[in-house]
């Protein structure tokens, strides 16, 4: 994907919004041939900003900067934005995101390849919210021993089969009803492909709440 440069000095808030809109437009244009009505999205959440765009995937899962190879999906649109000096060279955006994302946000950004391409950029959350979870307030929420055991074995992104193997479980129904579903309902784990819950490539990872709870359990 061609990357829009945000390096122009003196950008106003409206100009900054324009840069974000242009990024979404380029990515949406790259997916035109998918014939998918999925809209380009820029979602600002507590502690993170997400983008979602229709995509022709070259693989599935979180992209690794060390092995990532950029693909020009729509050279015509990319060339247009480079001509008006609103896009940089192919692949530079990911390098810059990884370089500055952790410095400013505290964590590495995530780029997740799939039929919907997702980018997650963290930012420090210093505000105080009334609806803070019990884990945020330092109070450990009550979880079953099964859920606690599962949180302890999840490392990075793991498939259902991998988690079951780590737990030494063979009964898929028992795992789903007593481990997986309760943890998802409590927002302690999340799917890597939430729009395709039955995907054969589905994996699970700890949410921020799950990480905080695990840390409190290990103290």
Query: Would you tell me which CATH number, out of the four given (1.10.1740.10, 2.40.50.140, 3.30.930.10, 1.10.10.10), belongs to the domain 145-218?
Result: 1.10.10.10
Nearest to 73 by CA among 34, 39, 112, 110: 34
CB 105 within 8 A of CB 47: no
Please indicate whether the domains covering 13-122 and 145-218 agree at the CATH topology level.
Answer: no
For the chain, the domains span: 13-122, 145-218
Most confident range (mean pLDDT) of 13-22, 71-80, 135-144, 209-218 is 209-218
pLDDT, tens only, 120-158: 888 776 544 444 444 444 445 678 899 999 999 999 999
**39, HSE (Cβ side, Cα atoms, 13 Å):** 4
The DSSP secondary-structure symbol of 170 reads -
Mean pLDDT of the chain: 75
- Measured CA to CA, the distance from residue 99 to residue 108 in angstroms comes to 8
Fold classification of 13-122 is Heat Shock Protein 90 (3.30.565)
Diameter of the chain measured on Cα atoms? 59
The structure's pTM equals 0.40
pLDDT, tens only, 23-61: 555 554 444 444 556 778 888 887 888 888 887 777 788
- Predicted confidence (pLDDT) at residue 183 exceeds the cutoff of 80: yes
């Amino acid at each position: 994907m061609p990357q829009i440069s945000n390096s122009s000095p003196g950008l106003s808030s409206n100009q900054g919004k324009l840069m974000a809109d242009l990024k979404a437009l380029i990515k949406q244009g790259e997916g035109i041939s998918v014939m998918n009505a999925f809209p380009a999205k820029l979602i600002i959440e507590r502690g993170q900003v997400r983008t979602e765009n229709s995509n022709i995937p070259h693989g599935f899962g979180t992209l690794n900067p060390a092995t990532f190879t950029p693909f020009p999906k729509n050279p015509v649109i990319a060339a247009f934005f480079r001509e008006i000096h609103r896009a940089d060279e192919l692949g530079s955006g990911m390098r810059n995101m990884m370089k500055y994302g952790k410095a400013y946000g505290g964590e590495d950004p995530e780029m997740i390849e799939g039929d919907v391409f997702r980018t997650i950029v963290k930012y420090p959350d210093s505000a105080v919210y009334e609806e803070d979870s019990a884990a945020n307030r330092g109070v450990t929420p009550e979880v079953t021993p099964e859920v606690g055991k599962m949180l302890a074995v999840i490392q990075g992104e793991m498939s259902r089969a991998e988690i079951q193997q780590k737990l030494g479980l063979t009964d898929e129904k028992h795992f789903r009803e007593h481990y997986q579903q309760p943890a998802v309902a409590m927002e302690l784990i999340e799917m890597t492909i939430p729009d395709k819950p039955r995907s054969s490539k589905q994996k699970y990872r700890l949410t921020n709440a799950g990480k905080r709870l695990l840390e409190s359990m290990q103290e």
